[in-house]
Structure 1
């Protein structure tokens, strides 16, 4: 996959371009060896990447969360689950490919897994509507949760959306009601549920499948009631001030852990999940296994009570 550098990564990009140039020269029969220079530049690039990613501000993290090469739902399914069987449709209107889900096995145990899928190229992004679901997507999610409750299967959801789709057709078909119903179904499940914020967790479009027993978040993901651009548009009527909004909104993992909105942060490889997708996916799998084990054996009443206590505690003083 071709490298895609963010604006703040330009110094790293320059070093890696030089490494590639010297590597090509070194491979030439007529050129001498540049191995020592290449090794020195690689160490310098690694040090610079570590230093840069150790001090990302909220706007930088927003850019990383939106990186096109971050692992998406289909990548997590391929890397962590076996025997995945997709279930389509909401049984009312149609199938929304912005949210995918179905039955699978995680470490040999049956689960229901679902999540937003953004797509990886022009064709798939259009197919999945950039991960922005319509009402039928949220009604599909609620149907999957009904299925999980009926058969006693844990629910694992992967959140990565800028928000629900705001189009006219979506509003005509009851977007707000569908989001509310999906959120309600998540809160009332009698089986353990875990949500993982893998990229963007935007607004009600995210909470609709993140009303879970445990909410986990990748290190460089964001989770907010509105996008920084949307907040800037409302506050200052200027979307160009998105960076100012991001800096003020408390949307990063350390902020959200402190506010008790998320329960645990999952480490990413140095440079973000997009630099080592396999390692990032493995990290998520390890934490999911631990969290599912901690929730196993609870009665439906205990699961509902624990989830209610978790959400009631958000914003509580004292």
Structure 2
């Protein structure tokens, strides 16, 4: 069953009209190619208009489309081979986070990412991509293994957040994420992070500290989801669309605010429209950065990574006494 969002209804209606004309052509054997071509042109124009003017909430919807490729699919399409590694050597193997060594364009790298699942059974198995503490500890174990063998780390982020259950908190969810932030900031190998879907809160940032951080065009990255923000500020989910705009969570806004290093363009309509092309674009960006980062001095790499994240959100307060005009500073 094809999922159609509200803003995509004009496209669905046009497609239905085109299909009806094609059926009529087959039934009557009358040449209607001119009409079909004209309708097809209108469809393409409408499609361009719709996806070129998406709101923040609409991008959130696309990022959650169940047909979007997930971490394992990207790895399968980008890597020549992949060996999955399991367990945190403490509690167990969290299925919400997968990781292992893979070969990409002649480079061996450690791939780590959240995996949501494609159907109900798989989603339950993967806990909807919401990792427990052992998931983040598994990710850290794999990062340290990559560091030991001097291999770069590539993380693919797609999660509605870390698992908020009582048992996760009892096992140290906050500590596990905080430990990852600390260790990733000083990891002595190149680290590249890509948000391929949802990038929510600590669940995303727990594997999101890197020398290069990218977002796919129709993804989001924020401290909180629009629904949760709406429920906290307005005591209702009815304001989720407004929250999505206020949070500035889209790839364009994140790049504008210098919180990410770039945006990877998606096929028209989203990554799910053409997963192979999307994976090729991600692979191209990864190979470009791996080629650059492998020549960096390790101390320089770590220093620049720390400086990048420490400079985020810095505010310079105006200390001008009340009643005086602030001095104009020219750079």
Both proteins in one fold, TM over 0.5 = yes
- Count of residues paired in the alignment: 316
Q: Is the 8 A contact 1:159 1:198 kept in 2?
A: yes
Q: Is the 8 A contact 1:196 1:216 kept in 2?
A: yes
Alignment deviations for residues 146-174 of structure 1 (CA, whole Å, 9 cap, x no partner):
10111100000000011001112111111
Which consecutive aligned stretches of 4+ in structure 1 deviate over 4 angstroms post-superposition?
A: none
> TM-score, with normalisation over the residues of structure 2?
0.92
What's the RMSD between the two structures over aligned residues? Answer: 1.3
Q: Measure the CA separation in 1 of the matches of 2:180 and 2:315.
A: 28
Alignment deviations for residues 46-72 of structure 1 (CA, whole Å, 9 cap, x no partner):
111111111111111111111111111
Q: Measure the CA separation in 1 of the matches of 2:19 and 2:123.
A: 31
Alignment partner, residue 62 of structure 1: 60
Q: Is the 8 A contact 1:132 1:162 kept in 2?
A: yes
Q: How does 1:2-81 map to 2 (within 5 A)?
A: 2-28=1-27, 30-81=28-79
Alignment partner, residue 198 of structure 1: 196
Alignment partner, residue 119 of structure 1: 117
Structure 1 gap ranges (5+): none
36-45 or 83-92: which moved more? 36-45
Structure 2 gap ranges (5+): 317-331
Alignment partner, residue 268 of structure 1: 266
Q: How does 1:101-120 map to 2 (within 5 A)?
A: 101-120=99-118
Match of 2:235 among 234, 237, 250: 237
Alignment partner of 1:156: what SS? strand
Q: Measure the CA separation in 1 of the matches of 2:135 and 2:278.
A: 27
Q: Measure the CA separation in 2 of the matches of 1:67 and 1:199.
A: 9
Alignment partner, residue 257 of structure 2: 259
| Deviation (angstroms), 1:317 | 4.6
Alignment partner, residue 170 of structure 2: 172
Larger Rg: 2
Alignment partner, residue 92 of structure 2: 94
Alignment deviations for residues 227-261 of structure 1 (CA, whole Å, 9 cap, x no partner):
00111111111122111111101101111111111
User: Aligned in 2, Cα 1:274/1:259: closer, same or farther, shift over 3 Å?
Assistant: same
| Deviation (angstroms), 1:82 | 1.8
| Deviation (angstroms), 1:96 | 0.8
